[in-house]
Every structure is written in C-alpha cells, then in structure tokens.
Amino acid sequence: MPRITLKGLEKRFGNTVAVQDLSCEIEDRELFVVVGPTACGKTTLLRLIAGLLRPDRGEILFDGERMNEVPPPQRGVRMVFQGQDYALFPHLAIYRERSWSNLSFPLRLRGGTWEAIRDRVGKVTQRMGIKRELFPRKPGQLSEGQKQRVALGKAMVLPPKVLLLDEPLAHLDPPARARAREELRRLHEELGATTIHVTHDLAEAFLLADRVAVMLEGHFVQTGTPKDIRNHPKNAFVADFVRSYEDSLRRAFSN
C-alpha cells in the first residue's frame, strides 16, 4: 500500500484558499486522522488526494510517483463521502444478482463476471455485517447505520490501496458511532490500506488514529500521535481544542 507524500499543496476557489502550503508524509498502512473545525479544508484535501480536484500548486505522490495528472480510477483510491446519502445510488437496490446495484456497480464497471461479482459481494457483505434482507432495498429505505455500512462495503468491493473517509460516522447516534469506530479500526487492520479519515470530532480522532493532524485554515498546525497532541499542544488553538475534548469527557463521566 502506498506511502502518500503531500508537498506544498494549495487549492483556491476564487478568492478563498481552501488548502494552503500543506506538506505531510502519510506512511504505508497508516490510519491517519485529520481533525479540525468546519470549513478548514479537510474535505478539499481528500478530494485532492482522490483526484476529484486538481491542486493549483504542489504535488501528490504515491510511493514517490506523482499523481497530479493521474485520473481517479487509476489511483487505487476509494472514498466514502460525507452526507446523508453517502454517494449511494438512490434508484438502485443495495444488491441484486445479475443486475446493476449499489454493491455490484464498481465491479460491473470493471467488466467483472456476474459469478465473480456474486462471490466478492458475498465476502464483503459478510465482513461488513450487511444482512441479506437489506439487499432488495434502496438507500432511502435504510437507517443511517445501514447506509454507512453499505457505503463502506461499496468502497471495499474493489480492494483499495488508499481509503479516504469523509466524516462517515457524522450521522450516527452515539451508540452506533462507538460500534462503527471499532469496526473501522478492525477493517483498517484487516485491509491494510493506507487510510485517511477526516472528522471535526477530536475524541473520534484520538480513538481511531495512529497519527492525528490538526487542521486550521487550510494547513496542518500540528501532527503527531494522539498522546503527543494531547500532552504537548504546539499553540493556543490546539491547546483549546484539546481542552474542549477533555471537558466533554469530564462531563460525560460526571453524569
């Protein structure tokens, strides 16, 4: 799985700088979590790595190979999008044999046989706990937790080299979110994909990450292990961010 190198990345939308002078090394098979407030550039960064956006400046490298001009399908990247629909096709069933469906779509697009698709979907749905009774349903008939599982399953049917997660747990209730965090960590260890997960929730970052990057106004203000970030904040913003997390923990345990 690739080591990802970001060198001096910049992306502008008109006069707005979404990502600026961002450089970082993300190790092979690492679970790297980017945390920061709304509109700090997290989603834009994922879209740059996926190839859905082209940087205005800087480089993206996978194992030293420049990716800036490589089309998204050739990068080996799978992305689970933020939002209520998780980029599932609303008019398609979750899975239907010998037919286009949400889970068969990536495989059929690559020309897979129906038999190979059935076998692969069977393995993925078992791993993700997607029950067969959900197969005939469309995304609008699923709960948020079920949609999240299907979106992750859709990302897994073609085993990714790089997995990008854009706040996939944002719409889950707290108990479901806690279970999903455990499943994501287990899934990462099984797949071995280099994984970049973005969230605004520092608790989620600390619980999931090998390393955490705190993002503000388009760049990383601190990168380190959860322990490093918690015990040695580099500036007032990171210190306030950590303090708000610890305050929420104290409130939770005092109730």
pLDDT tens for residues 179-202?
A: 778 878 887 887 788 999 999 888
Q: In sequence order, which residues have a C-beta less than 8 Å from that of residue 8 and are 6 or more positions away?
A: 21, 22, 23, 57, 58, 59
Measured CA to CA, the distance from residue 36 to residue 214 in angstroms comes to: 6
The predicted model scores a pTM of 0.84
Sheet holding 162-166, edge to edge: 77-80, 162-166, 194-199, 31-35, 211-216, 219-224
Q: How do the domains of the chain map onto residue ranges?
A: 1-76+160-233
Strand partners, 66: 61
pLDDT tens for residues 229-254?
A: 999 999 999 999 888 877 765 654 45
Token output for 243: 């303090």
Q: Place 79 in a pLDDT band, splitting at 50, 70 and 90.
A: confident
pLDDT at res. 54: 95
Question: Could you tell me what percent of the chain has a pLDDT over 90?
Answer: 55
pLDDT, mean over the chain: 88
Concatenated DSSP letters for 171-187?
TS-HHHHHHHHHHHHHH
Give the pLDDT mean for 206-227.
94
pLDDT at res. 252: 47
Strand partners, 31: 195
Provide φ and ψ at 57, rounded to 5°: -155, 155
Residue 130 burial (10 A CB sphere; 0-12, 13-18, 19+): buried
Q: Place 255 in a pLDDT band, splitting at 50, 70 and 90.
A: very low
pLDDT tens for residues 45-54?
A: 999 999 999 9
* 1-76+160-233 classified as CATH 3.40.50.300: yes
21 within 8 A of 75, measured Cβ to Cβ: no
pLDDT at 39 over 80: yes
Q: Place 168 in a pLDDT band, splitting at 50, 70 and 90.
A: confident
